[in-house]
Amino acid sequence: FGRTGSLFVCGELGLNPTFLCLSKGITSGYLPLAATLAEEKIYRAFYDEYSTRKMFLHSHSYTANPLACACANETLSLLRENDFLSSALGPKIKALGERGRALEELPWCGEFRQTGMIGAAELVEDKETREPFAFERRVGYQIYLEGLRRGVFMRPLGNVIYFIPPLTISEDEIETMIGAARDSIRAVLGK
């Protein structure tokens, strides 16, 4: 629901999936709800009068809760009505990219990558050769811990630090997040 900059990444990639499974984001994460969308020919293959016995008896454990469904309907309305993806999210995506790429000025950031509101800083021992830090050093984890001390959560996966902020983050908070990441990297790896 917007994390990559479009409603669903399949649309961004020009793909038309036969099935699309949805959960958390459909209620903005407030209540559990799941849904499976299917293309029309699949839907029609299982939808008919009961007497035809043409049915697919399956459901999610989080199906049809009235409060969750109301929350999902409101989430979808807000996304449509406010043109959230382009008007609200667009500037934040730009801010994350600009501020994130500034991490590349550090001698240990080999690359900053981004897709929508997902950013990743790859940490390297040698920027010129892109030699990674030894796995045993747990550099990403050490930076994650330093970030927590600074009040910022970063997701370490090996030598890559991921930034996956809430879509409601402000540009000032993006600046704070990237600044804390920069300071954490320097604190752990500083020379």
> Is 111 among the domain residues?
yes
Pick the last residue of a domain from 81, 107, 130: 81
Reported as a pLDDT band with limits 50, 70 and 90, residue 36 is confident
pTM: 0.82
**Domain shared by 53 and 101, yes or no:** no
Rounded-to-integer distance, Cα 137 and Cα 153, Å: 20
Q: Are the CB atoms for 177 and 152 separated by under 8 Å?
A: yes
Which structural domain range is residue 149 located in?
Answer: 87-189
| Per-residue model confidence as pLDDT tens digits over 81-114 | 877 778 888 999 999 999 999 999 999 999 999 9
